[in-house]
Chain A
Amino acid sequence: MTFPPAAAAGQTRATEQLDTPFSPSLVEELLRLIAKTARAHQLYLPNNPIYRGAIDSLRAGFGAIWNEADEITLVIAEGEFLWCDVPVWRDAVGTSKTPDSLPWLFYKDGVRELTLAKGFEEQEALTFLEMIQRARKATADEDDLVTMLWEADFTFLKYAYVDLLHDGSAGALADGGEVTAVAADEVKAAAREPVEQPRTAGIVDMADFDATLYFLDDREIEYLQSEIVREYQQDLRVNISAVLLDIFESQAKPEVREEVLDDLETLMVYLLSAGHFRGVARLLREASQSAARASDMTADQRERLSHLPDRLSSPEVLSQLIQSLDASATPPTREELEDLFDQLRPSALATVFQWLGKLQDDGVRTVLTGAAERLASTNTTELIRLIHSADRDVSGEAVRRAGSAKAQAAVAALGRVLSDPEPARRLLAAQALTEIGSAGALQALERALEDADRDVRIHVARTVMAREHRPALARLDAVVKGKAVRAADRTEKMVFFEAYGTMCGDGGVAHLDALLNGRSLLRYREDSEMRACAAIALGRIGTDKAIAALRKAAVEKDVIVRNAVARALRGDARGSDVAGAAAE
C-alpha cells in the first residue's frame, strides 16, 4: 500500500511556503487516483461500473491539474515521486521495492522522469494503466518499462531513463587512425586514369548526374505503399508455418526435421493461444500435404507429422480449446471454427461428445455439433466404441450421433443399450434405432415393446406403428390381449391399440369387437377407456368387418366411447387425439 506523504503524516502542507506553481495536493491526489485506477484496471473488466468510475475519477484528477498547468513532470526515486522537488508520493513501510510500489516499478527499470501533458488522460492513460499491469506481472525475461514506453509511442507522455541493460562494457570506438600523407602524384595519376569501364572501375557515369532518375514517381510510391500495406495485412503465422513445412520437405537430415517438428508444435500452441483457428487449420492441412509429399521420410518422422492433427484432437488440448471458445467474449466466426473442426480426428469424438451437452455458446455448439456429425458419420468404429463408453455423457452423445448418422453398423451396439438398467439410456437407444429405421434396427427395437419403462414402450410402439413393422404384431397382439395393458395409462393403451389396429387387419376385429361391445349381465365388460381404445383400433383397421363392429356401438351412451366411435368411423383423427378429446 502506498500513500501521499502529507496524508500519511496527517499534515496539512503549507502550500504558500513551497516553491511550486500550484498546490502539491493536486498532484498527490492525482497519483492516488492513478494507483487506485491501476488496481481497478487489474481487477475489473472495462465494462465494470467500478472500473468506469475509477477512470472517470482519474480523468477528473487530471482535469484539476490541467486547470493549473499544461503538463507536470514527476521525478522518480526508489520509493517516491517528486514534483518540483517536493515529494508527492512516498511508499508505505513494507511496500518499498515490491511490484506494489508504483515508484519502484519505474525506478527498477531505469525510468527516472515522467512528463504527462494535457491530452494524456484520454486514450493514453488507458494504455499506461495496461502497461503498469504488464510491468507488475513481467518476469525477468520480459520487456521492461523502458521498452514498453518506447513501443507505446506516447504523444502526451515523455520519459527519461538510465539504460540499465547496457552496462557501458560495450567498449568505445577507436578515434581516427594515424594520419599520414598520400602521394600527391598517386592522386593526380588516379585522376588522369582513363574513364573506360564505367560499370566496373567505379568511374562516374554521366547517368549518375541526373538525380531525377532516382526520384520516385507517383506510380512507384503507390507500389511501395501497396507493398507496405501487404506487409501488414499478411498472416505472419500462416507464412511461418508454410516456411517450416518447406524446410521440413526440403531438408532430409533427421535432426533438422526433428527440430522443425518441435517448432511446428510450438507454433500450433501459439496459434491456438492467440485464437488463430484458421491458422491452425491451415497448418494441419499443410502438414498432411507434407506428410504425403516429403521424400526420404522415416516412419518416425511421418508419424510425428501425421500426429500434429492428433495433438489437436487429444482430450487435453481439445478440452482446453472448447472451454476457452465457450468462455470467449469474442468467439471466432463460424467459418473459422468450421475450418478448425474440420481438422479434428476420430480420436476427438469422445471429447467433443463430452462437451456438447455442456456448452453455453450456441454458435460454438452448432459448429461443434456439425463437427460431431461429420466425424460420427465417417468413423463408425469409433462411434460404436463410444456407445459403450463408461462416461455417460459420451455414451449418450454417441448414441444420439449414431441415430442421426443412421449408422447401420451401430444397431447391434444400440440394441445392447436397450438392456441398460437406466431407462433414459434405453429410451435414447430406442430413439437412435428409430432414426436408423432399418429392418435390423426395427427388429432390435421390437423386444423393447415389453420394456419395463413406459416411455420406452410408447416410443417403440409408435415406431413400429409408423413403420408398420409387421414382425412386431405378435408382441402387440400379446400386449393387447394381455392383462398388463389394463393397468397402463390411457396414452400407452391408446398407442398400443392404435399400433395393433394398424397392422392386425380383420384378424384382430373379433377381439376388438369383444372389447368394445362385449357385455356381461348388466353392463359392458370393459371400462370406457378400454372400449374407446378398441374403437380407435377398429377405426385403424377400417375394413367392413371393423366398421360393422364400430356401428354396433354408434348409439353408445358413454360419451367417451361414443366420441371415439364417431371419430373412428369418420377416420378423421389419430387415435390418441380421439382418446384425449373423448376424455375431455
Chain B
Amino acid sequence: MTTPGAANPTGRGTAAAEVPIDTSSESAVRRAGRQLIFSAFGALRAVKLYPLENAAVEKALVELTNQSREMLASQGELEIRLSGEFIFINQTRLRLALDNFGSFSHLLSVFRTNGVGSVTVGVGVTSKQWLVLLSLLQSPGVDDPALRLTQLAAKLADAGVTAFTLAPPTDHGSDDREQAKERAKRTYTESVSATRELIESIRMGGSPNIKKIKRVVQGIVDQILNEETSLIGLTTIRDYDEYTFTHSVNVCIFSVALGKRLGLSKLQLYDLGMAALFHDIGKSRVPQSILTKTTGLTNDEWPLIAAHPWLGVLALFQVRGAQELPYRAMIVAHEHHMKRDLTGYPRPIRARQLSVFSKIVAIADAFDAATTRRSYQTVPFTPAEVMSELRDNPARGMDPVIVKAFINLTGVYPVGTLVVLDTFELGVVHAANPLQEMLSRPIVRIISDAQGNLQHPGTLVDLADRNADGVFARTIIKTDNPDRYGIRIGDYFV
C-alpha cells in the first residue's frame, strides 16, 4: 500500500478528556501561526532598520508579544519549528502562499544561519525578551551554524532571557532520506511511463486519457512541496533514448519547483505542472525522423519542428478525461517558444500577453534541453553555462525576473553540475544551499578525491563549511563537462 506524503492519516481519535478547546483546531492554529510569522518578520525588520528606542520597534515587539501570549493562552504551548522548506507551529504546517512567502523564507533563512531548528516560547515572554532574541539572531557571529546556536543560547542566558528554548534542526536520519529518494524515484519513473504512454497514443492518432497524467503531476507537486531535492536530482538522468519523455517530466519538475519558489499555491502548482508536462505534446505529431535527425535541419524540415507549439494546441483537443479542455496547457504549449517581445515562434497574429506559466516553462525547457545530450547536440552545455546564457543574453527573450528566481532555486551551480574544487576533488552539485546568501556554495557530492579515485556514492559536503581558520574548506574553481571524465551524472541521483 502506498501512502504518499500528502495523504498521511493520523491514527485514532482521542478521548474526550484530552480534547482541547476548539481554538486548537488546525485552521485556528494556521491563522494564528501565520499572523505570528508576519509579526516576527515585521519585528525582525524593525529591529534591524531602526534604533531600538524607535516607536516602530516597540510597536512591532508589542504585537509579536501579544500574538505569542494569545497563542500560549489558547494552545497551552508555542513552538516554532523548521522542517525542510516549511514552518510548523505546534505540529501544524503553515501554508506557503504568495502573500506570505517573503516573510516565511526570510525567517527560514535567519533560523538556518543561526543553526536554529526550533524555538519554544515559554509563558511569560515579554517584549524585551523578544528584542534580545531578534537582535542576537541578526548580529554577526561565527559562520558555523551549530556553534552559533551554542553561542546564541549562552548569550540569551547571560541576558537573563529564559522564555525561549532553542534547539538545532532535527535530522531525520538517512532512513528518511532514503525513503524520500525511493518515493522520488517511483514518482519519476511513473511520470516518464505515463508521459510515454500519452505521447505514443497521440502519435498513433489515439485520444488518450489524461487520468494518469493528472495523477503523476499530483505526485510531482506533492514531492516538490515536501522534499524537492531528490526529484530535482533525478532530472540529471537525461536519458538519451527516452529524451522526449524525460524532458517533459524534467520540465514539469523544474517548473513546479520554480512555481513553489514564486509562492504559487498547491493547486496553482498543479495547473502549472500539467501545462509544463504537456508543453512539447505537439512533437508527437512531428515525424520521428525529424526529431531524431543528427545533422542540421533543411529549410523544409525546420518548419516541421517549429510547428510543434501550435500542433500541441491541436493535439490537446484530442485528450480525454478532463472536465474541461486543458486550456492553460494549450496556451503554454503554444507560447513556450515565444519571446517576451513576441518574436520566436509561432508569431502571433492577434495581440497577446505571454502567460507567466509560459515564461516559467520556457526557462525550464531551455535549461533542460540545453543540458541534455540529444540527437543533434552530442555535447550538452553544462548547467552553469546554460544558466549564464539565460541570465546574460537578452536575445533569448526570457523574463529576467523569472530567470533570477530560477537561479535562486537552483543556485548559481544547478543540481547536477560537475564542479572542480580547489582541493582537486571533483564534485556533483547535489542541492542548492538553503542559505540564500550561499547560492554560490551548494551542497556537493564529492565523487573523486584529490588522487582521482572515483567514489560511489561519494560523500555530501556543504561548501559553506569553513575550516578551523574560518576559511572555506572547499571552493569551486570551475565547472566542467562530465564526458571529459566519463562520468554519468545521473548515476549519483538514483
Contact = CB atoms under 8 A, between A and B. Distances in A.
Interface of A: 21-22, 65-73, 84, 112-115, 117-119, 141-144, 146-147, 149-151, 153, 155-156, 158-163, 165-166, 169-177, 179-188, 190-191, 193, 195, 198-205, 208-209, 211-216, 220-221, 223-225, 227-228, 230-232, 234, 236-237, 239-240, 242-247, 249-251, 256, 259-260, 262-263, 266-267, 270, 274, 286
A133 to B, nearest CB: 14
Contact of B317 (A73, A114, A183, A266): A266
Interface stretch (B74-82, B83-91, B116-124, B432-440): B432-440
A65 B19 CA distance: 12
Contacts of A187: 420, 424-426, 448, 450, 452, 485
B401 A155 contact: no
A65 B13 CA distance: 9
Nearest to A290: B349
Given A212-B437, A225-B98, A170 B192 contact: yes
A249 B349 contact: yes
Contacts of B436: 211, 215
Interface string B197-209: 0000000000001
A166 B213 CA distance: 11
B211 A199 contact: no
6 contacts: A21-B14, A73-B10, A187-B425, A191-B424, A204-B440, A274-B324
Contact of A202 (B19, B209, B323, B385): B385
Contact of A115 (B9, B20, B352, B484): B9
B350 A245 contact: yes
B396 interface: no
Interface of B: 1-4, 6-16, 19-20, 22, 25-27, 30, 98-99, 102, 185-186, 188-190, 192-194, 209, 211-212, 214-215, 218, 234, 237, 262-264, 266-268, 270, 310, 313-314, 317, 320-321, 323-325, 327-328, 330-331, 334, 346-350, 352-353, 355-357, 359, 381-382, 384-385, 388-389, 392, 401-402, 404-405, 407-408, 412, 420, 422, 424-426, 436-440, 448, 450-457, 476-481, 484-488, 491-492, 494
A143 B270 CA distance: 15
A70 B19 contact: yes
A166 B196 CA distance: 13
A127 to B, nearest CB: 13
Contacts of B11: 73
Contacts of A165: 211-212, 215
A208 B27 CA distance: 42
B1 A73 contact: no
Nearest to B1: A162
B437 A211 contact: yes
Nearest to A172: B189
A69 B14 contact: yes
Contact of A239 (B327, B349, B382, B401): B327
B353 A230 contact: yes
B356 A231 contact: yes
Contacts of B385: 200-202
Contacts of A186: 452, 484-485
Given A21-B15, A230-B353, A166 B388 contact: no
Given A21-B15, A187-B448, A236-B328, A173 B237 contact: yes
B1 A112 contact: yes
A451 B268 CA distance: 72
A195 B420 CA distance: 13
Nearest to B26: A155
A173 B188 contact: yes
A191 B262 contact: no
Contacts of B16: 22, 67-69
B347 A250 contact: yes
A246 B323 contact: no
Given A69-B14, A187-B448, A208-B412, 9 more contacts: A68-B16, A141-B321, A159-B9, A170-B186, A187-B425, A204-B476, A211-B438, A227-B356, A250-B346
Contacts of A67: 16
A347 to B, nearest CB: 27
A228 B331 contact: no
A71 to B, nearest CB: 5
Contacts of A173: 185, 188-189, 234, 237, 494
Contact of A170 (B7, B99, B189): B189
B486 A182 contact: yes
Contacts of B457: 176
B193 A171 contact: yes
A249 B185 CA distance: 44
A107 to B, nearest CB: 13
B491 A177 contact: yes
Contact of B314 (A22, A141, A204, A259): A259
A263 to B, nearest CB: 5
B3 A160 contact: yes
Nearest to A247: B310
A294 to B, nearest CB: 9
Nearest to B480: A190
Contact of B456 (A144, A176, A202, A221): A176
A200 B481 CA distance: 12
A162 B457 CA distance: 32
Nearest to B313: A243
Closest 5 CB pairs of A and B: A69-B13, A184-B452, A170-B193, A236-B327, A211-B439
Contacts of B349: 245-246, 249-250
B478 A190 contact: yes
A216 B404 CA distance: 7
Given A191-B422, A191-B424, A225-B98, A184 B477 contact: no
Given A70-B14, A115-B9, A153-B266, A246 B346 contact: yes
A158 to B, nearest CB: 5
Contacts of A174: 494
A162 B7 CA distance: 11
A497 B262 CA distance: 87
Contacts of A114: 9
Given A182-B454, A240-B330, A158 B480 contact: no
Contacts of A205: 388
Contacts of A240: 313, 325, 327, 330-331
Residue in B7, B185, B186 with the greatest tally of chain A CB atoms within 10 Å: B7
B382 A214 contact: no
A190 B448 CA distance: 14
A452 B114 CA distance: 104
A239 B352 contact: yes
Given A71-B10, A202-B479, A211-B436, A143 B454 contact: no
A263 B330 CA distance: 12
A73 B424 contact: no
A297 B305 CA distance: 24
Contacts of B402: 224
B479 A204 contact: yes
A7 to B, nearest CB: 22
A195 B352 contact: no
A340 B218 CA distance: 38
A22 to B, nearest CB: 7
Contacts of A191: 420, 422, 424, 477-478
Nearest to B357: A231
Contacts of B334: 243
A188 B424 contact: yes
A209 B439 CA distance: 7
B236 to A, nearest CB: 11
A158 B480 CA distance: 46
A224 B405 contact: yes
Contacts of A151: 218, 267, 270
B478 A21 contact: no
A147 B218 contact: yes
A234 to B, nearest CB: 7
B313 to A, nearest CB: 6
A172 B185 contact: yes
Nearest to B334: A243
Contacts of B425: 187
